[in-house]
Structure 1
């Protein structure tokens, strides 16, 4: 997976249990994970650091994942940056959610609870694209 290159991942997730699960899933891979507990923090972290990938929870208190994704895309455009892959993570699977994720600038989405194999597959699909 990703040829052993270290990936810097921004995980926007307000559930401590979900953060723990994702960290456990990814602990044996060359990934550095920063955790933002809400959308505002995710946007701030993105503005202060460079990431190879964002895992964005959709339902967070305050600024949700849709708005945070839109703000990240606007920041990239303002700064002339390339597009960082954003994978939305949601408890809801529907065509409407998929469209909203894509419309706000997300690249893919996966549903909770996230199986390890599906998470790894999603990460690989966007970072190798």
Structure 2
């Protein structure tokens, strides 16, 4: 069984490249172009981890994370690991995103090795 990853990224080229990279690593990938669409996907299916961009149209990654974390579990699993995957790399950014409820942080650009390493921390071994 392969782990299911939700990639939330507004840039189509970045989303495509990330999807192909993850699929090559054996992951099943769902996509969303903004935070609102990510919530719609999560209402329909369960994922093992979310890679969440921060700067998104309609609803940003922090807002979507806060909604997921505050939920009672009837529509979204509030315990789903959420990894910030963002170009925000200034001092204090990582701490701000973790304080919003995200589990971890990767600065763009990232390598597959960095991505795989952080995913292994949050996804059960039997799904990898």
User: 1:46 aligns to what?
Assistant: 42
Deviations along 1:52-74, one digit per CA (max 9) or x if unpaired, are: 00000001112100000111112
For 2:19 and 2:7, how far apart are their aligned partners in 1?
Answer: 10
More helix by share: 1
Across the aligned residues of Structure 1 and Structure 2, the Cα RMSD in angstroms comes to: 1.9
Deviations along 1:83-122, one digit per CA (max 9) or x if unpaired, are: 1110011102134211221111100010111211111111
Runs of 4+ deviating beyond 6 Å: none
Which of the numbers 52, 65, 69 marks the counterpart of 1:73?
69
| Alignment of 1:18 onto 2:14 | yes
Give the TM-score of the pair, scaled to structure 2. 0.87
Number of residues of Structure 1 aligned to a counterpart in Structure 2: 124
Does the 8 Å CA contact 2:8/2:38 hold for their aligned counterparts?
yes
The Cα shift of 1:123 comes to: 1.0
For 1:36 and 1:81, how far apart are their aligned partners in 2?
Answer: 17
Give the TM-score of the pair, scaled to structure 1. 0.86
What SS does the corresponding residue of 1:54 show, helix, strand or coil? strand
What SS does the corresponding residue of 1:27 show, helix, strand or coil? helix
User: 1:123 aligns to what?
Assistant: 119
For structure 2, the residue ranges without an aligned partner over 5 or more in a row are: none
For 2:5 and 2:77, how far apart are their aligned partners in 1?
Answer: 17
User: 1:104 aligns to what?
Assistant: 100
